[in-house]
A and B are shown apart, each in its own frame.
Chain A
Amino acid sequence: MVEGTEPMSERERILGRIREALKGRAPLPGHHGEVVENFAGPERETFSQWLPAVGNTKKAKFEAFAKASADLKTDFRHVADEATMIRELRSVAKEEGWIKVASHHTDLTDMACGKLGLPTLWTDGGYDVNEMESCDVGISVCDALVAQTGTIVLTSRTGGGRALSVLPPHHVVLAHSKQMVRDLPAAFALLKERFGDGFPSMMTLITGPSRTGDIERILVLGAHGPKKLTVLCHD
């Protein structure tokens, strides 16, 4: 099969055509058709200046995250301490009548799931997909919260795998207020710093519960992923 198509030679053919094609020089966009010599690429440090503004104080960042969350219908609760966070988690569990939860091992999730006292599916080291599908909630930690967009950043290595945050009908994120970053450029800088010498196989930016507008452009939550997203963040 694959061997028969000689992938190496096709690779060389495509690269050869590209090199040949690039011998003609194209004008730089926004320069009125002019070919600019030795263009070294965009000035990436300016990106932050064009994107939507976010203040750099803790208060401004939390306000921005809260506002984005309200728009997105993310249930965001910023609480004083870990104990309050656990109380909030338990009240959500009670309200929704959780029977079984899915999570992954970290100090915070171990403690939180312990306090919930419900049967827990741990994803570490592998799990049964059908069993996870039957869980009421996936509880995970994250790598960062992005104030600018109300986004949660997590990876397959640090967030309990690929499915935990998308398969159960409710995703709960447990976070620390120190994890709040200002904007998207800061979030990507953080990912590079944290994983630069070995990236996980998946990194995701989650912004609100799953949604669709495919039927008459009317918003419906919970298209395929979670219908609910809760972010509990403590100081």
Chain B
Amino acid sequence: MIQPNDSFEEIESAVVRFAGDSGDGMQTVGERFTDSSAFAGNDIATLPDFPAEIRAPAGTLAGVSGFQLQFGSREILTPGDVPDALVVMNPAALKANIEDLPEGGMLVVNVDSFKKINLAKAGYDTNPLEDEEFRKKYHLIELDLTGLTKEALAETSLKPSDKARCKNFFALGFMYFVYGRPLEPTLKFFDDKWAKRLPELAEANSLALKAGYNLGDTLETARNRYQVSKVAAQPGVYRKISGNEALVYGLVVASKKANRDLLYSGYPITPASPVLEGLSQLKKYGVKSVQAEDEIAAMGVALGASFAGALSVCATSGPGMCLKSEFIGLASITELPLIICNVQRGGPSTGLPTKTEQSDLLQALFSRHGDCPLPVLAAHSPSDCFDCGMEAVRIALTYMTPVILLSDLYLANGSEPWRIPNVVDLPGIENSFANEDEEYVIYRRDPETLARTQAIPGQVGLEHRIGGLEKGEDGGVSYDPENHEEMTRLRADKIAGISKSFDPIEIRGESEGDLLVIGWGGTYGAISSAVGNLRDEGFSVSSVHLRYVNPLPDELGDVMSRFKKVIVPELNLGQLAMILRAKYLIDVISYGKVQGKPFKVSELREKFLEHVN
């Protein structure tokens, strides 16, 4: 192991961003830096940011792919507003990212890509690295990454072009030196990934990584080194987890807890495809996965499986939700349990398919025709997708209803450390199955939950028909006007009553005061950080983050009324704000943003400050 010979400056947290061409391996080095920081015991949050095109023309702005992470010895809730250090592999990456780097920030540049042709592709008339003012503005570190990597790999058998492709790991090694990161997790990664199949590649990448690290040791300009100590975390076993991974695990654990085989049915769509891929690998756990011919079919397969007794799950994104709407209505009127996950992205239409947004809330609440309320949950962090997956299953099976679970691209692709729960300690989930020894009345309801019971094909003597036509309690088709109203109200009351099973609202801060911030979904980290900072400065600001968007928690109106002002920041044009205004007749302030990017802590702080005193 390389011994550092410099003294470190102790810092509480740092934000590092890697940016390069889509093919430069920026997501890979970002993930490795994250693993290494987790291994070092830091808290972390990540923000992968990549274009919709798999390989946009090389060297262009459209092809820039980035990965930002924040790591710290304190609680880290967001990937950071602005980077402390920016690594750019080409002029386009510089151009796309430099505005975010504060003056004095560390800028590591792969100088050999700053040739005329690449500068032109990025829209630079002159080389910014030759501009004296630019050079003075940042802590600039110019590295000929291609040349240095080739040199480091001179003895290996790789082709010259393949050698150059290892330069991302050279850059990573250099950044490991700057931030005193351990190399072991990355070396282990090379070993796991390539040692058997392509041992020469594993060796080359290891050499590049170490050479990058060693360069830091000898380079005068890299004398500033930073140390970020371990975060004081609750004892336990931890791992790094992304929102989509957590969702997959939550659903599988819930299926075992409910003793009901999981059937997943999906159609590939960004950013939900990893849920399909993840569950397809879990056949060992009894998971059946179907890649359907389209989004509608995915929902139909899930509904059919639910009728036959499976725990059925679909995951999609906004455009897929549009296509599923008619089937969701059928699931509602037939009162079958089903989980529909919407990993939201920028819309409408194809919109911003690889950027985050929270603009499908009203769609989740209202996309069906008819009066058709459904439970809607929203996860607030990558690891919370696990809990929400389990909670969605609990609600679906207890109340015999489809449940919409909202995640978003930011949570789906972002990662954080997760304290792994003990599976045996997690609560069991009850089913509402019918009993063969009793008369089966399809829509007879549990007086407490208003849920019907479910008879599964194969159960003797419980043969029955369900379908999209309105039914009477006995399951017969009924066009009776009063019956329709009664059934519509019963279905609505059932959903409204789910709130009785919720834990009390958690208020961050005092339970009364000047300003209450209400958020939902992936904005949790930014809102909590901004509110926390303002409270530390003595402002009377509290926050509530909603897991349940429908039904809303019973006491939410009371909580809101105890504050002078209520503000709702969300990554849409005010969808939750509209619901709260309509439901509580409170003049909530809406703060919306739709740029495909998460909130910055600083912009929220500024906005909240406008409304206190």
A associates with B: no
Residues on B close to A: CB < 8 A? none
